[in-house]
Amino acid sequence: MDGKGYPRGLTREQMSVQARCMGIADIFEALTAKDRPYKKGKTLTESLTILGKLKLEGHIDPDLFDVFMWDRVYEKYAKQFLDPEQIDSVDLTKIPGYVPPPAY
């Protein structure tokens, strides 16, 4: 989000919402992917912890990360694509950068 990212070095303001969403989705998929010969897929907690750190470091859109967490997009993805051993019980209070959804 600070203009230092791959591949084009764009800032948050220069990127569309869709592109920022895809950034989060791409990172999450890469972390959980089990078909990579060089690594095994991470658990939900491991993956969300990394994404939370990326939020705090300014590498992913913080507002879209919050929506990703509040809408539990990670759970919907996990049910469709992850192996059962990757689907652990996520303690949201331990995910860096997690903030509870606002009360309406």
Q: Contact, 44 vs 90, CB < 8 A?
A: yes
Q: CA 70, 76, 82, 86: dihedral to nearest 10 degrees?
A: 40
* Residue type for position 50: I
Rounded distance between C-alpha atoms, residue 57 and residue 84, angstroms = 30
Confidence of residue 7 (pLDDT cuts 50, 70, 90): low
40-51 pLDDT, tens digit each: 999 999 999 999
Distances (CA, A) of 74 to 19, 29, 36, 45, 83: 18, 10, 19, 10, 13
31-75 pLDDT, tens digit each: 999 998 899 999 999 999 999 999 999 999 999 999 999 999 999
